[in-house]
Amino acid sequence: MVRTIPHRELRNNSSAILEEVRRGETIHITNHGVVVATLIPPTAQPPRLPRRAARTHIPWDEFEIPPWPDGQESTITQDYWDDMRADRW
């Protein structure tokens, strides 16, 4: 069974609502009458999200920043991006 509640009810009665979800109930949460979230039991399988292929297959070490359309230099340089990537490793 699916039930719909406003976000205020979730905020005010979160323990009781989460217990209902644990027992198997699915609950839609609304904000100003629009469903913005769905609470489902942990045993239920969430819907699979669609996947799409990457738009580019260029490795990061080969990526270069394209020039600005008006011909001016960018304030963001390749060195900046190299430094940013190095911080992640």
The band of 10, judged by pLDDT with boundaries at 50, 70 and 90, is very high
Calculate mean pLDDT across residues 17-44. Answer: 91
Average pLDDT, the chain: 81
CA dihedral angle for residue 40, residue 46, residue 52, residue 57, rounded to 10 degrees: 100
Statement: residue 58 has pLDDT above 90: no
**Nearest alpha-carbon partner for 64 in 76, 55, 52, 53:** 76
Calculate mean pLDDT across residues 13-35. Answer: 93
Write out the two tokens for 23: 């027992």
Domains of the chain in sequence order: 2-39 (3.40.1620)
d(CA 12, CA 51): 36
pTM over 0.75: no
Statement: residue 35 has pLDDT above 90: yes
- In sequence order, the 6+-apart residues with CB closer than 8 A to the CB of 65 are 74, 76, 77, 78, 81
Which secondary-structure segment (H or E) carries 83? helix 78-88
